[in-house]
Chain A
Amino acid sequence: MNDEILRIDSLRLNRGAREVLRGVNITAARGELVALMGLSGGGKTTILRSVAALEAFDAGSIDIGGVVLRPGPLPKGTLARELRKQVGMVFQLHYLFEHLTAMQNVTLAPLHVAHAAQAAAEARALQLLESLGVSHRKDALPRELSGGEAQRVAIARAMAMDPPLLLMDEPTASLDPARRQELGDTLRRLVAEGRTLVVTTHDDDFARDFADRVVILAEGEVVEQGNARDVLTNPQHAATKALLQGRAT
């Protein structure tokens, strides 16, 4: 498929004797928002970390826009540079650089990786912060930001290098309903611009409302996937049912 940006093929990953991922296959098309769901410990975050080349895996392959990751040590040099151009990541705990302001967090990579001019980097960063509604906090340090503000700065930071694929780990955790709606709108806008988002979440309402496709993971395997609304309204697999019931009770 030509519009495929991500293809995870038979991905296996062990931690010691424990099999964390047991042959995972996932694809994502350009302009698609994919939600990864499953009980805690199901391997959702590990998949994101493998795609972002933060964690080495044992078997299978990951193709990100033509950049292929294989088992063995984490990529270095050219391969790593090519990969970074394709993938950005927003962490659950944001991990903003504590010694830099919101603006400096966003411009760090453009200045030092893309070697952009200061003025251009700042103009672009301001635009990003504005579109996310946090430009008024551009001179604040991370510790001065609220959780929601920090998340939006973290998204802006990941967007600054303009990667076609953006990974987000649990963006809905600890957001109130109003903030959740706002986040969903933001993500839809990014997708509308042609970007691909792979988002892990526990929130099936969020997935139902905003995701195009949902992938259900259980014990290191994909047990069910498809149109978000269909899968979550009419679950087939026991694990999906358990997931939805767990939330209902």
Chain B
Amino acid sequence: MQNVKTLIVLLSLLAFHADAQQLLRWGGDSEGGAPYVEADPADPSKVRGYDVEVADEIAKGLGRRAQFVQVQFQSIDQSVARGDFDIGMSGVEQTDPRCAALACTVPYFEFHEVIAVRPEDKDRYRTLADLKGRRVATLSGTIAYDLLLKAEKDQGVILVSYDDDVHPYEDMKQGRVDAVLLDNIIAARALRRTGGIFIQPQPVAAGHYVGVLAKENTALRDRINDVLRARMRDGTLEKIYRKWEIWDEYQPAFFRTVAEGEAPRVMPQTAAPRESRMDVVMKYIPALLRASLITIVMSCAAMALAIMVGVLIASGRVYGGVFTRMLLTFYVEVVRGTPVLLQLFVLYYGLSSVIRLPAFIAALLGLGLNYAAYESEIYRGALEAVPRGQLEAARTLGLTEYQVFTLVRGPQAFRIALAPMTNDFVALLKDSSLVSVITVVELTKQTSIFAANIGSWVIPGALCAGLYLALSLPLARLARMLESKWRMSTE
């Protein structure tokens, strides 16, 4: 009997082990869409795309079954490093920092960075040099981003970074930016999807997509390399690429080089000289400081707006008529009941057909109007906390209602509201990181770009946290000082 039990336990352990062996967990971002990875329109619980098929081929070659893991594009590196999946591979670019921090496979596709412009600008903006003083969009954390960072210095273009690769083209069509620099696959897709753009035929640079594995996972990486080379030689990858219409004149030569085991040729722009980590950190510090400035200016302006609008809403809700009160209550409940992220999207993208707000203004309005709803509730409570008897006493002295508000009720309410207000300001300072979704590069966004480029979160994370604390601690201190000064007069 005892033996049977042991046997069952052993068998089940084996079965579990065997099952784990058979899976190749691969991570990608289905939000990135076709032709990389997209939700299958026929069955949205499944994914399809050329990366999906390449992953299937790799799994087959390893004798495993591929299993997709959804991960945000910008987080693929960190996610694979901490072991969320075996290999990350939706349009992951081969860069020196990445392949130093992780185990990169051989490249399996050669792409080109191309400039897309509005059709009427096709003769004006052919090269990055033509775009001096113009706004050029791209996806953050990519080779294209680094190219534009360099072009910002050398050619004077203005870099606008996005978290996704659809909105750059939309915003270009609407005139918010003048050009987009991105991978030819992405540009071709944008052209197919909606038209209305022109892709300059002369590429700015070439690059390659690789699979990334955790640094210690070199054994699996080498086996995957063998599979990839074999599938290049036997035409399987060509078939997949043709199916997804990404096979072009560059691939045959690229395949030959890789299949023969050589490193593929790289255009000079992408082969930046290797820099020490310290140099990279130093290079990013000015950018981080600039981003902190944006964070603090954005937060202060948004808070000022929130206070002004909040006072108006609170006054309206305390003094206004039935209709005013209902309208303002509706506003407060809608704003508090929906995510600020959604509000930012609506302000920036949703309203763009009616009014085309610049990103910074949209961010400021979004945060300010959102926080105004919260502030108004604080002020309303504070106004109602001032004893009615004092208001009546003021009236019997002959003060007008307006004077009662500005001389008696307002000043006392402000002192009551101060502590929760400071709290909100610190919260807003940190919530300001959300505005990166509408292309404003503030402190957190700059940090994640920094982290992506050096392939580690340790130094950027520490610097970022330090800067946030440097901004919020003095604020908390100032609030405590004001509070203790005023507490004397309110208790």
Q: Mark B382-399, 1 if CB is under 8 A from A, else 0.
A: 000001011011111111
Would B398 and A84 count as touching, CB distance under 8 A? yes
Q: Mark A131-143, 1 if CB is under 8 A from B, else 0.
A: 0000000000101
Assuming A81-B398, A112-B407, A113-B399, is B489 touching A98 (CB within 8 A)? yes
Would A161 and B397 count as touching, CB distance under 8 A? yes
Q: Is the interface of B mostly helix, strand, loop or mixed?
A: helix
Would A88 and B490 count as touching, CB distance under 8 A? no
Tell whether B67 is near chain A: CB-to-CB under 8 Å: no
Complex Cα–Cα for A108 and B396 (A):
12
Would B488 and A89 count as touching, CB distance under 8 A? no
Tell whether A85 is near chain B: CB-to-CB under 8 Å: yes
Would A99 and B398 count as touching, CB distance under 8 A? no
- Shortest Cβ gap from A98 to chain B (Å): 6
Tell whether B403 is near chain A: CB-to-CB under 8 Å: yes
Complex Cα–Cα for A89 and B396 (A):
7
Would A99 and B411 count as touching, CB distance under 8 A? yes
B491 contact set on A, CB distance < 8 A: 143
Would A141 and B387 count as touching, CB distance under 8 A? no
A96 contact set on B, CB distance < 8 A: 390, 393
A158 contact set on B, CB distance < 8 A: 396-397
Query: Which chain B residue has the least Cβ–Cβ distance from A49?
Result: B392
Assuming A112-B399, A112-B407, A141-B488, is B412 touching A99 (CB within 8 A)? yes
Would A99 and B415 count as touching, CB distance under 8 A? yes
A113 contact set on B, CB distance < 8 A: 397-399, 403
Would B390 and A95 count as touching, CB distance under 8 A? yes
Assuming A99-B489, A108-B407, A112-B407, is B396 touching A88 (CB within 8 A)? yes
- Shortest Cβ gap from A6 to chain B (Å): 15
B486 contact set on A, CB distance < 8 A: 99
Would A87 and B396 count as touching, CB distance under 8 A? yes
Query: Which chain A residue has the least Cβ–Cβ distance from B410?
Result: A99
| Cβ < 8 Å to B, chain A residues 110-157 | 112-113, 141, 143, 154, 157
Would A95 and B490 count as touching, CB distance under 8 A? no
Which one, A87, A95, A108, A143, contacts B389 given CB within 8 A? Answer: A95
Complex Cα–Cα for A141 and B415 (A):
15
Q: Mark A33-71, 1 if CB is under 8 A from B, else 0.
A: 000000000000000000010100000000000000000
Would A97 and B408 count as touching, CB distance under 8 A? yes
Q: Which of B395, B397, B403, B489 has the most chain A CB atoms closer than 10 A to its own CB?
A: B397
A89 contact set on B, CB distance < 8 A: 393, 396
A88 contact set on B, CB distance < 8 A: 396-397
A98 contact set on B, CB distance < 8 A: 390, 412, 489-490
Tell whether A206 is near chain B: CB-to-CB under 8 Å: no
Q: Which of B387, B398, B399, B412 has the most chain A CB atoms closer than 10 A to its own CB?
A: B398
Complex Cα–Cα for A235 and B465 (A):
81
Complex Cα–Cα for A3 and B399 (A):
28
Tell whether A175 is near chain B: CB-to-CB under 8 Å: no
- Shortest Cβ gap from A195 to chain B (Å): 16
| Cβ < 8 Å to A, chain B residues 457-491 | 486, 488-491
Complex Cα–Cα for A88 and B489 (A):
25
Complex Cα–Cα for A71 and B397 (A):
22
Complex Cα–Cα for A81 and B396 (A):
10
B403 contact set on A, CB distance < 8 A: 112-113
Would A91 and B399 count as touching, CB distance under 8 A? no
Query: Which chain A residue has the least Cβ–Cβ distance from B401?
Result: A76
Query: Which chain A residue has the least Cβ–Cβ distance from B488?
Result: A141
Tell whether A239 is near chain B: CB-to-CB under 8 Å: no
Tell whether A192 is near chain B: CB-to-CB under 8 Å: no
Assuming A93-B389, A108-B407, A112-B403, is B396 touching A99 (CB within 8 A)? no
Would A109 and B397 count as touching, CB distance under 8 A? yes
Complex Cα–Cα for A97 and B403 (A):
13
Complex Cα–Cα for A240 and B389 (A):
30
A100 contact set on B, CB distance < 8 A: 489
- Shortest Cβ gap from A209 to chain B (Å): 27
Complex Cα–Cα for A98 and B407 (A):
12
Would A54 and B395 count as touching, CB distance under 8 A? yes
Would A91 and B397 count as touching, CB distance under 8 A? no
- Shortest Cβ gap from A109 to chain B (Å): 4
- Shortest Cβ gap from B395 to chain A (Å): 7
Complex Cα–Cα for A109 and B396 (A):
10
Query: Which chain A residue has the least Cβ–Cβ distance from B415?
Result: A99
Q: Mark A211-237, 1 if CB is under 8 A from B, else 0.
A: 000000000000000000000000000
Would B392 and A95 count as touching, CB distance under 8 A? yes
Complex Cα–Cα for A113 and B486 (A):
26
B397 contact set on A, CB distance < 8 A: 84, 88, 108-109, 113, 157-158, 160-161
| Shortest Cβ-Cβ A-B pairs, 4 listed | A84-B398, A95-B389, A109-B397, A113-B398
Residues on B close to A: CB < 8 A? 387, 389-390, 392-399, 403, 407-408, 411-412, 415, 486, 488-491
> Can you show 24 pairs from A to B with CB atoms below 8 A apart?
A54-B392, A54-B395, A87-B396, A91-B389, A91-B393, A95-B393, A98-B412, A98-B489, A99-B412, A99-B415, A99-B486, A99-B489, A99-B490, A108-B399, A108-B408, A109-B397, A109-B398, A109-B399, A112-B399, A113-B397, A113-B399, A143-B491, A154-B393, A158-B396
Residues on A close to B: CB < 8 A? 52, 54, 81, 84-85, 87-89, 91, 93, 95-100, 108-109, 112-113, 141, 143, 154, 157-158, 160-161
11 extra interchain contacts, Cβ-Cβ under 8 A, other than A84-B398, A95-B392, A157-B393? A54-B395, A54-B396, A88-B397, A95-B387, A97-B408, A98-B489, A108-B394, A108-B397, A108-B399, A141-B488, A161-B398
